[in-house]
């Protein structure tokens, strides 16, 4: 690996275009290793008494080439554990490279992470939804996203399709849209953001709304995490070239268009 932070900041595609996803769940446990002890101590001193928010972490993955089925093993985690891992990764390039090597060689995520859905919303006319993140949000402030990101929650794992459950919750929380506006949720790939240690499922959400209908619905229910929302052409290559994109947005657009994502 080359020197410098840029060598491991960029997101990478781990598994392209799975035809199906099989989910397995293991019990939640404190999984952060001894590598993170000094960061845990510092975090606990600064954030004692804070409410712990439950999340879902990816433990390991495998893709069966015969039927292109992606197998995911997940576990419960919490925001405290994940933030400790994020803090360590931000300060230790050596640790980041260790974790990247584990993911690439063993298909294992050994430290806490937030497993989420990275969704591109597609309208019946082929347009996609672009959103500009508020500069006050924790992750990727001020960046454009195609279209949003939503962390999986433990309740999603109790549903027949955790990906669809998280995606539908996301469009409700972020845009005020309900499940009746969704025609389909389709997996586009498994990605990894080394700078955060977070994996994510790329997904395409096909909406039933036209561009004008989307605008009428969204402005009344949009959350305050967005500074701007636009309906844009999926064929506009300026989005793929933009340096102002969220880390996995370019992958989402290319996967949606059927072009190589990396």
Number of Cβ within 10 Å of residue 127's Cβ equals: 20
Which CATH number does the domain 6-257 belong to among 1.10.3720.10, 3.90.79.10, 1.20.120.550, 3.40.50.360? Answer: 3.90.79.10
Query: Pairing mode, if any, of strands 54-64 and 69-78?
Result: antiparallel
Which pLDDT score, from 0 to 100, does residue 262 have? 52
d(CA 186, CA 4): 36
Summarize the confidence of residues 145-153 as an average pLDDT. 92
- Per-residue pLDDT at 200 exceeds 70: yes
DSSP class of residue 137?
Answer: S
Q: For 133, phi and psi rounded to 5 degrees?
A: -70, 145
Three-state DSSP string of 181-208 = HEEEEEEEEEEEECCCCEEEEEEEEEEC
Structure tokens at 147: 């279209």
**Pick from 241, 259, 12, 237: which is nearest to 118 by CA?**
12
| Tokens at 188, concatenated | 């586009």
Q: Which two tokens stand for residue 222?
A: 């949009």
Beta bridge partners of 232: 128
Measure the CA dihedral 246/97/48/34, to 10°: 160
Rounded distance between C-alpha atoms, residue 39 and residue 85, angstroms: 8
What confidence tens digit (pLDDT) does each residue in 64-102 have? 876 689 999 999 988 888 888 888 888 888 888 888 899
The pLDDT-based confidence of 219 (bands split at 50, 70, 90) is low
pLDDT for 260 equals: 55
Q: pLDDT grade, residue 119 (50/70/90)?
A: very high
> Which of 101, 85, 135, 122 minimizes the C-alpha distance to 202?
122
Compare 100 and 240 and report the one with higher pLDDT: 100
């Amino acid at each position: 690996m080359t020197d410098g932070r840029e060598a491991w900041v960029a997101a990478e595609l781990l598994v392209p275009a799975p035809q199906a996803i099989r989910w397995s769940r293991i019990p939640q446990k404190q999984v952060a290793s001894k590598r993170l002890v000094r960061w845990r101590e510092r975090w606990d001193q600064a954030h004692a008494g804070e409410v712990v928010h439950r999340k879902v972490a990816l433990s390991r993955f495998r893709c069966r080439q015969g039927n292109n089925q992606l197998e995911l093993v997940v576990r419960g985690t919490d925001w405290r554990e994940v933030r400790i891992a994020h803090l360590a990764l931000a300060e230790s390039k050596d640790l980041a490279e260790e974790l990247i090597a584990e993911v690439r060689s063993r298909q294992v995520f050994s430290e806490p992470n937030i497993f989420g859905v990275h969704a591109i919303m597609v309208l019946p006319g082929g347009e996609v939804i672009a959103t500009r993140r508020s500069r006050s949000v924790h992750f990727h402030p001020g960046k454009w996203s195609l279209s949003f990101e939503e962390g999986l929650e433990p309740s999603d794992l109790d549903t027949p399709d955790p990906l669809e459950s998280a995606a539908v919750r996301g469009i409700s929380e972020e845009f005020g849209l309900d499940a009746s506006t969704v025609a389909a949720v389709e997996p586009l790939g498994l990605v990894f953001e080394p700078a955060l240690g977070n994996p994510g499922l790329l997904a395409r959400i096909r909406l039933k709304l036209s561009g004008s209908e989307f605008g009428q619905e969204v402005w009344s229910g949009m959350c305050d995490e967005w500074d701007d929302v636009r309906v844009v052409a999926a064929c506009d290559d300026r989005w793929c070239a933009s340096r102002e994109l969220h880390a996995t947005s370019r992958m989402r657009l290319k996967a949606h268009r059927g072009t190589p994502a990396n």
